[in-house]
Structure 1
């Protein structure tokens, strides 16, 4: 049995967070939830980290909730049960709110909370052999903690189907739904992830954080005077930053920007 639920590897500004419970298909329990939450918080605060890649050991990315953990919670008093559910919800919020670019590397099953992790990350790169599902109704529960991120990824209409049917979603179908950004054969999965990482490392780190904030600010809002004013202020503010000045200078001088050479 694995004694540590996570492994963290760092190289060249990239942190790889690897779930290490292969004997249970990287299913969530209290320890894995706490470790993932702490890892993403610490990596988000680490200025040397530019990109975070989330992966899983063994046959699966993550099979979702550990059923033994779920049984323990179902037998717990309401307040303890609720506190545990809050910790799970906070894990997904922490990943989704991360200021750094995040990539889910999905090589096998991503079920329940595993699909939630893939949805909470900014980008999902999956093997053609990967499979997804919101399987909770099969156990008499609902995909509550993951719902904001799955609905954001595939839309309300498709979520209405899959939340109720718990059907397996192939990697190809997940790509068609918009959950998966890039598909690769199993042997080419790491190369596909590395290609996305390379593109991310070429961008300005503060600009990438600002881009994520911009999406949250304008998504699903009417294009009214407030939105127009907000977007104007955001670009005007960013243009005056040292990062933007360096980026524009590097482009005009046909050289890599400082953050590219500095990694």
Structure 2
């Protein structure tokens, strides 16, 4: 059914969605974004699913945007870039609004859009050796479509600290910033996720869905207006010229003009 994802469900109603491009560190391509959107739609309407676990195959969770896809965006029209940004924004919203609890099982590094996927999880547990970073500003871009979810988790002060500088941070620090629920040894990750699954399975599924909806309604709204503003901000970055220079420099293994 999917080429970039694995999806399975056990007898308890626990569905596991695995980003399955380990050779690319599970970087998000346009196809993976489409398939994640479809997976969210399928899970939302599957009455047998009570809990969703989102994870990645191999050593990494998600390295962010696929580099080939990023490179193609340099040559794309503004309309194409806008359509791609909208597809990503809609996918993130679908997962954020999923009427089932989502547990992130983060086996390794998460960068850029991968941090966005961590942020849409209701509970996220990572291997303590995992590194994370919002790397977009190093390439002349901004974490726009993932921004509402990242800022909601981190708060403004921590978001400023890690977004502006694109600094790397380890899983224990991500716990302190509220991006992760907790960090454990990689060998303990499955057991830690299972402990959270067991707690959720003890709760009434419709009550859990209603509680999640209520929490979203009481929190900062991620509505169409916010989504449009993030897309516009990203397109402005692409049109400004720094993105083209930053991505070209990255592939050429050179320093862009803003790095000395």
Give matches, 1:21-36, under 5 Å.
21-36=21-36
Q: Which residue of 2 aligns with 1:6?
A: 5
Q: Is the 8 A contact 2:172 2:182 kept in 1?
A: no
Q: Which residue of 1 aligns with 2:208?
A: 208
Q: Which residue of 1 aligns with 2:119?
A: 119
Q: Which residue of 2 aligns with 1:43?
A: 43
Tell me the distance in 2 between the aligned counterparts of 1:161 and 1:96.
24
Q: Is the 8 A contact 1:154 1:177 kept in 2?
A: yes
The normalised TM-score by structure 1 is: 0.81
The answer to whether 1:169 aligns with 2:178 is no
Q: Pairwise CA RMSD of aligned residues?
A: 1.3
Tell me the distance in 2 between the aligned counterparts of 1:56 and 1:216.
26
Tell me the distance in 1 between the aligned counterparts of 2:192 and 2:3.
28
Q: Helix, strand or coil for the counterpart of 1:126? A: strand
Tell me the distance in 2 between the aligned counterparts of 1:219 and 1:119.
14
Tell me the distance in 1 between the aligned counterparts of 2:116 and 2:94.
12
Q: Which residue of 1 aligns with 2:199?
A: 199
Q: Which residue of 2 aligns with 1:60?
A: 60
Q: Helix, strand or coil for the counterpart of 2:206? A: helix
The normalised TM-score by structure 2 is: 0.82
Larger radius of gyration: 1
Q: Helix, strand or coil for the counterpart of 2:117? A: helix
Report deviation, 1:220. Answer: 6.0
Report deviation, 1:216. Answer: 2.0
Q: Which structure has the higher relative contact order (CA within 8 Å, separation 6+)?
A: 2
Q: Helix, strand or coil for the counterpart of 2:164? A: helix
Tell me the distance in 2 between the aligned counterparts of 1:220 and 1:5.
32
Q: Unpaired segments of 5 or more residues in structure 2?
A: 222-260
Tell me the distance in 2 between the aligned counterparts of 1:54 and 1:131.
18
Count of aligned pairs: 219
Q: Unpaired segments of 5 or more residues in structure 1?
A: 222-263
Tell me the distance in 2 between the aligned counterparts of 1:80 and 1:218.
34
Give matches, 1:184-195, under 5 Å.
184-195=184-195
Q: Helix, strand or coil for the counterpart of 2:144? A: coil
The answer to whether 1:179 aligns with 2:194 is no
Tell me the distance in 2 between the aligned counterparts of 1:160 and 1:208.
32
